[in-house]
Amino acid sequence: MTESFVPVLILILFGIALGAGMLIVNWYVGTHRRNPSKLAPYEGGVPLLDTNRKRINVRFYQIAMLFIIFDIEAAFIYPWAVIYRDATMTSSGIALFALGEMFVFVTLLAVGYIYVWKKKAFDWN
Amino acid sequence: MSATLPVVASLFGSIPEPMVQWVVWPTIKFVIAFAIIMGIVAFTTLVERRVLGFMQARLGPNRVGPQGILQFVADPIKLLLKEDIVPAGAQKAAYFIAPMLPIIPAFLVFCLIPFGPPPTFAITDVNVGLLLILALTSTGVYGIILGGWASNNKFSLLGGLRSAAQMVSYEVPFGLSIVGVLMLSGSLSLVEIVHRQELGVWNVLPQLVGCFIFLVAMTAEVNRAPFDLPEAESELVAGFHTEYSGMKFAFFFLAEYASMLVNACLIVILFFGGWTLAIAGKGLTTETMQTMGWLGLSLGFLIFAAKVAFFMILYIWFRGTFPRYRFDQLMELGWKWMIPLALVNIVVTGIVILLVRNGGA
């Protein structure tokens, strides 16, 4: 089955070449008429008073951290979901075990979820 | 593959068979598919403007060609000829790389999506197809946040961060809503998932909640109305691509529309039976289409295209109908409603599958 990934690799190269190619064409075909006010950052026509790279609200980082936790949980549940169907086909003992495993997993996730909610991480007012 | 097209296959006589199967055919298919997809993506922008025009009782673009139908050719040419402005104070390297980052995965994903009955319309059928698609589509956010930061503009920075926060938040319900489908089909291969549906029913019936979550999450993922906050003109000018011009600007747009198309294809494959029109193995199944030859295969492709077109129109319909959410409402909907709902859906699906198996056996 590893061969089926060969096209994916080829097409990554294809994508990079195409993207770079179109940008280069645009650079050479497009006009170049520069002046200082055209190159200034767009901000309502008034000269800039301060820097544009400021500190960012910590909530954005908070979301990123929450995302990592929940998305990894989702990635972990995929293998279980794929074999669950086969597990229910075999014996009822294994089927119940598979279901129980999922309950444990989702319960752990839910405990963390409720904790985060109580800590007001989901309040954006 | 070589059996269906002996004449063309004989042209590759001197090349070893594995090379033909894994390198030559996928490349040819991808180049054709790529040309068609570029066309569709460009055409969607025209359709969107026309349909929105009719929804708002105005005309929309109707000057270039009959009914404005050539507008989608004129726009890319115009953008290609535009000046490529690099604003003063921009981080040059990051500013150049940023537009490429979303567009590469957006187009790469198409080599994993079967557009019709395999093997003819599937470029490659990877056994972990769905996982790879999810991994690739989520890398698109890097380009947006990098472009927003590199532009040296307050609007861009805020737009990029908002966009990143939104995409990241809806990535979770997007991923969790698919779990129900995986439980029903027992495979990550898209071809196999479609095969399961033609033997039973479309996944939309047993997975109505999952389908709903997926629909909401896929709209939010590509920053479309009513979740188009990163591009809220009244607050952020043009969001993360405020400072971009010419082809770089076009790349962000192409990536957005290509992602829309990917998501429309995914919802059709996961919940609406892909290229088949069959219930419980009766009707137009993959097997029927393959025995019908080229006619059947094209029919499968047309059915798939029609279903995808419906969801593309649905995006535009949403845009013409719903008012925009506020940012805190958007985040609340994602974290406080969609994620618990998706988790409950997984638990309920698990129990129901077990009960049906035990009751039926």
Q: Does B340 touch chain A (CB under 8 A)?
A: yes
> Model confidence at B310, in pLDDT bands (50, 70, 90)?
very high
Residue B9 has pLDDT above 70, yes or no: no
Residue B277 has pLDDT above 80, yes or no: yes
- CA dihedral B160→B264→A11→B48, nearest 10 degrees, is -70
pLDDT for residue B213: 92
- Judging contacts by C-beta atoms under 8 Å, the chain B residues touching residue A2 are none
With CB atoms and an 8 Å threshold, state whether B85 touches A11: no
Hey, which CATH number is domain A2-118, 3.40.462.20, 3.30.450.40, 3.40.50.360, 1.20.58.1610? 1.20.58.1610
Cα-only R_g, chain B: 22
Q: Does A29 touch chain B (CB under 8 A)?
A: yes
Residues B321 and B217 in one domain: yes
The domain spans of chain A are: 2-118
> Model confidence at B267, in pLDDT bands (50, 70, 90)?
very high
Residues B140 and B203 in one domain: yes
Residues B110 and B55 in one domain: no
| Full DSSP string of B190-251 | HHHHHHHHHHS--TTTTTHHHHHHHHHHHHHHTT-TTS-GGG-HHHHTTGGGTT--HHHHHH
Pick from A5, A43, A67: CB nearest B154: A43
Residue A123 has which token pair?
Answer: 């309040």
> Model confidence at B361, in pLDDT bands (50, 70, 90)?
very low
Which residue of chain B is at minimal alpha-carbon distance from A61?
B165
Residue B13 has pLDDT above 70, yes or no: no
With CB atoms and an 8 Å threshold, state whether A124 touches B331: yes
Half-sphere exposure of B296 (CA within 13 A, CB side): 15
Residues B150 and B235 in one domain: yes
Select from B54, B81, B108 the last residue of a domain.
Answer: B81
What average pLDDT does range B113-128 have in this prediction? Answer: 76
Q: Does A24 touch chain B (CB under 8 A)?
A: no
This prediction's pTM: 0.86
Q: Indicate the number of domains in chain B.
A: 2
Residues B73 and B148 in one domain: no
How far is Cα B4 from Cα B198, in angstroms, rounded to an integer? 24
With CB atoms and an 8 Å threshold, state whether B157 touches A39: no
Query: What value does the mean pLDDT of chain B take?
Result: 82
How far is Cα B323 from Cα B99, in angstroms, rounded to an integer? 29
Select from B26, B51, B81 the last residue of a domain.
Answer: B81
What average pLDDT does range B179-195 have in this prediction? Answer: 87
Residues B90 and B76 in one domain: no
Question: Which of B147-161, B227-241, B253-267 is least confident?
Answer: B227-241
With CB atoms and an 8 Å threshold, state whether A85 touches B86: no
pLDDT for residue B230: 67
Residues B75 and B115 in one domain: no
Residue B264 has which token pair?
Answer: 């429309």
Report the residue count for chain A. Answer: 125
CB B42 within 8 A of CB B251: no
With CB atoms and an 8 Å threshold, state whether A4 touches B247: no
pLDDT for residue A93: 79
How far is Cα B145 from Cα B159, in angstroms, rounded to an integer? 8
Which residue of chain A is at minimal alpha-carbon distance from B130?
A78
With CB atoms and an 8 Å threshold, state whether B22 touches A36: no
Residues B106 and B205 in one domain: yes
pLDDT tens, N- to C-terminus, chain A (125 residues)? 677 777 778 878 888 888 888 888 888 887 777 777 777 777 766 767 777 677 777 888 888 888 888 888 888 888 888 888 888 777 777 888 888 888 888 888 889 889 988 887 777 76
Residues B54 and B157 in one domain: no
With CB atoms and an 8 Å threshold, state whether B27 touches A7: yes
Residues B152 and B287 in one domain: yes
> Model confidence at B289, in pLDDT bands (50, 70, 90)?
confident
pLDDT for residue B232: 65
Question: Which of B198-202, B229-233, B307-311 is least confident?
Answer: B229-233
What average pLDDT does range B19-40 have in this prediction? Answer: 78
Residues B135 and B163 in one domain: yes
Interface of A with B in 75-94 (CB under 8 A): 75, 77-78, 81-86, 88-89, 92
How far is Cα B147 from Cα B100, in angstroms, rounded to an integer? 10
Considering only residues B20 and B50, tell me which one the structure prediction assigns the higher pLDDT: B50
Query: Measured at the alpha carbon of residue B140, what is the angle toward residues B25 and B143, in degrees to the nearest 5?
Result: 120
The residue range of the domain holding B5 is: 1-81
Residues of chain B above pLDDT 70, percent: 91
pLDDT for residue B2: 43
Residues B55 and B172 in one domain: no
Q: Strand, helix or coil at A5? A: helix
Q: Does A72 touch chain B (CB under 8 A)?
A: no
Residues of chain B above pLDDT 90, percent: 6
Select from B59, B81, B103 the last residue of a domain.
Answer: B81
pLDDT for residue B6: 53
pLDDT for residue B3: 47
Q: Does B251 touch chain A (CB under 8 A)?
A: yes
Query: B133-142: per-residue pLDDT in tens?
Result: 888 888 888 8
pLDDT for residue B8: 57
How far is Cα B51 from Cα B58, in angstroms, rounded to an integer? 10
